[in-house]
Structure 1
Amino acid sequence: MKFIGIVGTNSAQSTNRKLVQFMRNHFSETAEIEVCEIGDFPAFNEPKDKVAPEGIRVLSEKINEADGVIISTPEYDHSIPAVLKSLIEWLSYTTRPLIDKPVMVVGASHGSLGSSRAQAHLRQILDAPELKARIMPGSEFLLGHSLKAFDENGELIYSEKVKELDECFEEFCLFVSITNQLVKDHRFKTEQNRKFTWEQLADGGEKA
């Protein structure tokens, strides 16, 4: 399988980057995970032509071609970073590659909660009509105290967390296989979702 691993922050020292990089190396015999950075993308500005900047279009194509997406998010003020929200807004407003795409949400934080509130918020966002990602249910990977979690070689040193991540990733691979088969059998619905606009609703929707 081929996955896109999104580092959901523009911080140069983020342990979420270390988490995605660890997953890429640790699961290399099971899947190919391409680590993608988003820190250099411009802030979303709702262009009238609905065309995203080149870097975001490239990432969108990679998502389209991948079997699934892994997003690692830190937690800022009980939510996801602005740079990650901006990327999601670009994708939902333009190419919509996340529709029916299997997504695994993970996260690391310096405290004990492991970005739990940000992950919950991200799941809610990914269920929006313009996104409609297929989010793996009933499974969370929360890496707390992440500043001490990795050694100098980028290895995750909490053995119980490695075991937990192994189980979550195995479930995700199964979830991807099942989901992509279901989506393949209902491709028309996916294309209809990509054409959704709030203007179709009688009340004009929530956007302004």
Structure 2
Amino acid sequence: MIMKKLIGIVGSNSKKSTNRQLLKYMKKRYSEIDEIELVEVSGLPIFVKTEDMEIPMQAERMLEKIKKADGVIVATPEYDHSIPAILSSALAWLSYGVHPFLDKPVMITGASFGNLGASRAQAQLRQILDSPEIKARVMPSSEFLLSNSLKAFNNNGFLTDTQQVKWLDSLVADFNEFINISTQLTNTHKDDETNLNDFSGDEGANNKEVIN
């Protein structure tokens, strides 16, 4: 098996984020099949539309990493049944005249302190990634919902629930297969790219007035 290069986006600006902890765990556990590099949305400014469509340097670095990656894992917490403003803003920067997510395989994960495991935030994130401005290729029926995340890891940073570990193993295996399959789905890529360029230059950019 050829090792895949994956980007893990930490969708939180919390210094003690359990979503970051989850991605770090995945980086260690799957190091023999996937090279996972973590990138942070923390530090990005809130999205504001500019006349020259210039994006922050941090977003530039992120989009270059995403472009070169075989796939992306996005880990989101859930705040008031939605994704954090900082993650929403990051995705706005990463689709403002640029298209690193176009047809890029994406897996969604989420950890939350409560019992729902970021389920509603993940549903919202799926809609955003599937939007005309982004057009990522999100793996279907694949949510990893880590509830009660403050108690989910031991002192060494490992998940303690064997059923959760088994489920995550299966999802990561499926994601690697999903990436392989996605490389064959290229017939509409050029048309999608053209449509995205037209959309971003006109209607798409106007739709990004404020994200909060």
Q: TM-score range by the shorter chain?
A: over 0.9
Task: Report the number of matched residues.
Answer: 205
Matched, 1:58 2:61: yes
User: Which secondary structure state, in structure 2, belongs to the residue aligned with residue 107 of structure 1?
Assistant: strand
Contact 1:2-1:66 at 8 Å conserved across structures: yes
Equivalent position of 1:43 in the other structure: 46
User: Which secondary structure state, in structure 1, belongs to the residue aligned with residue 95 of structure 2?
Assistant: helix
Matched, 1:27 2:30: yes
Contact 2:49-2:208 at 8 Å conserved across structures: no
**How far apart are 1:162 and its partner, in Å?**
0.4
**How far apart are 1:50 and its partner, in Å?**
1.1
What's the % identity of the aligned pairs? Answer: 50
C-alpha distance in 2 between matches for 1:193 and 1:155? 43
> Quick one: higher RCO (CA 8 Å, sep 6+), 1 or 2?
2
C-alpha distance in 2 between matches for 1:78 and 1:8? 14
Matched, 1:74 2:77: yes
Which of 188, 194, 201 pairs up with 1:192? 194
1:79-98 to 2 correspondences below 5 Å: 79-98=82-101
Contact 2:105-2:178 at 8 Å conserved across structures: yes
- Unaligned 5+ segments in structure 1 are none
**How far apart are 1:200 and its partner, in Å?**
6.2
Task: State the one-letter code of the partner of 2:25.
Answer: F
Contact 2:96-2:200 at 8 Å conserved across structures: no
- Unaligned 5+ segments in structure 2 are none
Cα distance change, pair 193–27 in 1 and its aligned pair in 2 (3 A)? farther
Task: State the one-letter code of the partner of 2:139.
Answer: M
1:1-208 to 2 correspondences below 5 Å: 1-183=4-186, 185-197=187-199
**How far apart are 1:196 and its partner, in Å?**
3.1
**How far apart are 1:56 and its partner, in Å?**
0.6
Contact 2:9-2:39 at 8 Å conserved across structures: yes
Cα distance change, pair 147–207 in 1 and its aligned pair in 2 (3 A)? closer
User: Which secondary structure state, in structure 1, belongs to the residue aligned with residue 48 of structure 2?
Assistant: coil
Aligned residues: CA RMSD: 1.8
